[in-house]
């Protein structure tokens, strides 16, 4: 193997290693089960759905936003874990009416523990999940603010057929920011 190719393999290995807990999370049977429930319950939903793609978009936008602001204190794995978990309680809200930010935080705790996130990281992630709908509040944590912003910008509003009925939609959302 050429030296350049060997370095690229090593780099990829390091990157994968640095995200191993997030990837373990995505393979966890409870995470998969919650996502399947949401998929079934959102089959007829006209507005944005909350599957894997939404979580991935939120993760990438939240991380880009934090990097752009020079906020390097939050580990990338915590940002991605929070983004993938922030809506996993949607199925609870559909079935019981409980606020999904609270339900998501509750369901996320055992998943994060199983994937060996530290208790300090878990507290930050759960707070961010709880705050992800509080767009207009002040004093959000850094992660909560990043998730709230990313949650709005992770949507293709420009090509959406139900703009007129969507409570989230405004004209600025036709523009690309992240
Ligand atoms: Fe949400
Ligand atoms: Fe969301």
CA of 44 to the centre of ligand 2 (A): 18
Q: What is the pLDDT of residue 142?
A: 95
Over the chain (178 residues), the average pLDDT of each successive run of 10 is 82 90 98 98 96 98 96 94 98 98 98 98 98 90 96 90 90 88
Q: What is the pLDDT of residue 146?
A: 96
pTM, to two decimals: 0.93
Q: Name the domain count of the chain.
A: 1
CA of 120 to the centre of ligand 2 (A): 23
Q: Which domain holds residue 103?
A: 20-174
3-state helix, strand, coil in the chain (%, to 5): 65, 0, 35
Ligand in closest contact with the CA of 53: 2
Q: For residue 145, give the CATH number of its domain.
A: 1.10.3210.10
Q: What is the pLDDT of residue 15?
A: 86
Please check whether residue 150 lies inside any domain of the structure: yes
Ligand in closest contact with the CA of 149: 2
């Amino acid at each position: 193997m050429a030296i350049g190719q060997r370095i690229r393999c090593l780099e990829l290995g390091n990157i994968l290693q640095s995200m191993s807990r997030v990837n373990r999370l995505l393979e966890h049977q409870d995470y998969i089960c919650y996502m399947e429930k949401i998929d079934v319950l959102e089959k007829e939903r006209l507005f944005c759905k909350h599957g894997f793609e939404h979580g991935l978009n939120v993760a990438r936008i939240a991380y880009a936003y934090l990097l752009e602001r020079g906020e390097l204190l939050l580990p990338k794995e915590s940002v991605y874990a929070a983004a993938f978990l922030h809506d996993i309680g949607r199925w609870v809200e559909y079935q019981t009416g409980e606020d999904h930010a609270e339900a998501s935080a509750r369901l996320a705790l055992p998943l994060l523990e199983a994937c060996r996130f530290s208790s300090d990281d878990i507290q930050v992630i759960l707070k961010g999940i709880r705050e992800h709908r509080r767009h207009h509040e002040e004093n959000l944590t850094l992660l909560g603010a990043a998730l709230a912003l990313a949650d709005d910008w992770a949507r293709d509003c420009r090509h959406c057929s139900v703009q007129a009925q969507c409570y989230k939609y405004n004209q600025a959302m036709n523009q690309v920011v992240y």
